[in-house]
């Protein structure tokens, strides 16, 4: 599984702040197509990660320390 690149994190943060891809493109000085690709890949990576976690939870595959880590992460939302 891949992680999110620094670029993907930055793009998603700006998107969550309400910026449009065209605005993000100007802010980070990248082509709009690059911004759209970063959004697509980042969302795909996040989707795959949540699917893996769903499967792990449904099949009782997580260890106690992993459960505690997830609870901590979810408490930040």
Annotated domain spans of the chain: 6-75
Instruction: Name residues whose C-beta falls within 8 Å of residue 32's C-beta, 6 or more positions apart in sequence.
Output: 21, 22, 25
Instruction: Record the pTM.
Output: 0.84
Q: Is the dihedral of CA 69, 17, 5, 35 positive or negative?
A: positive
The per-residue pLDDT for range 9-29, each reduced to its tens digit, is 999 999 999 999 999 999 999
The per-residue pLDDT for range 26-66, each reduced to its tens digit, is 999 999 999 999 999 999 999 999 999 999 999 999 999 99
């Amino acid at each position: 599984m891949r992680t999110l690149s620094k670029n993907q994190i930055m793009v998603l943060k700006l998107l969550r702040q309400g910026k449009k891809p065209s605005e993000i493109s100007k802010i980070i000085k990248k082509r709009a197509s690059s911004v759209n690709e970063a959004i697509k890949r980042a969302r795909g990576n996040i989707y795959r990660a949540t699917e893996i976690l769903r499967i792990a939870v449904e099949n009782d595959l997580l260890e106690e320390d992993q459960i505690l880590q997830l609870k901590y992460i979810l408490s930040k939302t």
